[in-house]
Amino acid sequence: MKIRRCAVLYIEPREELAIDWSSLFAGSTTLAASTRWLALAPHLDREIEVDAADLAAMAAVSQTVWSELEACEQCHGAACVARLLELGLLIGDAPEHEALRERDETLRAQHWRPLAALAHTFSRWHDVRTETGMEAPSFQQLLDRHGTPPAPTMDLGTPASAFKLPKAASGILDETLMKRYTGRNFDTGASLPLAVAARLLQRTFGAQEQRQVGPHADVLKKTSPSGGGLHPVEAFVLVQRIAGVTPGLYYYHPTEHELRPLRTMESDEAAAVALQMVAEQQWLADAPMQVVMVGRIERSFWKYRNHQKAYRALALDAGHLSQTFYLLAAEAGLPAFITAAINDVDIERMLDLDHLRHAVIAVCGCGPASTGPRNMVELRYGETGLG
Ligand SMILES: Cc1cc2nc3c(=O)[nH]c(=O)nc-3n(C[C@H](O)[C@H](O)[C@H](O)COP(=O)(O)O)c2cc1C
């Protein structure tokens, strides 16, 4: 049998601090530090504690070239090698290792930059709820906790020699730009008119043009810019209240301009799904339409193979789409939102996506604002305009 090391592997020394009671009673240092070595491999999607013997065995095996199992066993012991194979840190070519080998090969096939694959995999959330993982502190609470924030501008250069610019002229975008804001007080009794939802989706995520650039190779033109012109970020829509559309999860097809149902559901289930997606930020989950932005790794990294900037470009693409979405919502007189504080792992499960091939980046949404009293979160953010 042959083995090799998994494609991407980082080892993190994780320090843990605890109160050292004996030194505390002796009147000296009160913190004791201990270090564990954690293996982080994106294809395994979990942290694995390893020891010095594991590290030595893994260091001795190539991540590219297959080598004989026996040779490694002789140097590092059969038990150690068997454990690493079972964990998937070493990859075997035998049938019993097929499942983990397949995950490793999926990662290799995407052309991730290793550090980006690591950052993506280990920054995903599962079942984070606002009351445990996230909170929405008021600006005053932040001031109390962290003191004065860094100034709002860098304020560099010499004011005396500054070139004063003319006042910004008004333009046709002004009204929309000035109306744009993040809504956190959606009207749970209101639906999004179908025509508004259709325009928002088509003008943000839809193809305005399609061009063939080679046999079986097409590029799309959208209203937002995209790294490499590849438009790897696509939209999955959670419908809660769009007039005439059954609640549920849909894939929005950018050239066909249609919602393809993945799972229809009752309204209360759709509301629960929305809440789970945005880590229980109720103020965002109330919006009648949520859009999950998913980056297709294989499309982006087809060009940007093993590229340092590729993952950053993917996030920037989603940011551009979000602003376009916000502006179209503002044009329709609606607030919108975007959040990266999402339970990506849960969303992947709902949409049957593999995090190595599809990066769930952010969720945006919009809908009519409530005309009633503003809720606490809206008031908190409204105080400062920050979030
Ligand atoms: C990347 C990103 C992430 C955000 N995440 C959240 C969030 O998790 N929850 C939230 O209520 N608002 C979120 N916002 C909205 C900001 O809080 C908001 O843009 C900011 O307060 C400025 O307000 P404005 O959009 O109305 O100008 C996010 C915005 C961006 C661009």
Domain ranges for the chain: 2-110, 139-147+178-384
* The predicted structure's pLDDT at residue 225: 98
**Taking a C-beta distance cutoff of 8 angstroms, is the pair 117, 37 a contact?**
no
Tell me the fold of 139-147+178-384.
Answer: NADH Oxidase (3.40.109)
- Mean pLDDT, residues 22-45: 89
pLDDT digits (tens, 9 = 90+) for 243-297: 999 999 999 999 999 999 999 999 999 999 999 999 999 999 999 999 999 999 9
Look at 379 and 70; give whichever has higher pLDDT.
Answer: 70
Q: What is the mean pLDDT of the chain?
A: 94
Ligand 1: which residues within 6 Å by Cβ? 181-182, 184, 281, 284, 337-341, 381, 385-387
Atom of ligand 1 nearest to the CA of 339: 5
pLDDT tier, 387 (very low <50, low <70, confident <90, very high otherwise): very low
8 A C-beta contact, residue 35 and residue 71: no
| pLDDT band at residue 386 under the 50/70/90 scheme | very low
- Ligand 1 atom with minimal separation from the 322 CA: 31
- Encode pLDDT of 109-146 as tens digits: 999 999 999 999 999 999 999 765 556 778 888 999 99
The CA-atom distances, in angstroms, between 52 and each of 36, 38, 56, 262 are 11, 11, 6, 47
CA 141/CA 146 separation, integer angstroms: 9
pLDDT of residue 380: 61
Ligand 1 centroid, distance to 337 Cα (angstroms): 7
User: For the residues of 42-73, what is the DSSP string, one character each?
Assistant: TTTTEEEEE-HHHHHHHHTS-SSS-EEHHHHH
Summarize pLDDT for 262-271 with one digit per residue, the tens. 999 999 999 9
For residue 131, the model assigns a pLDDT of 61
By most ligand atoms within 8 Å of CB, the mutation choice from 181, 182, 361 for ligand 1 is 182
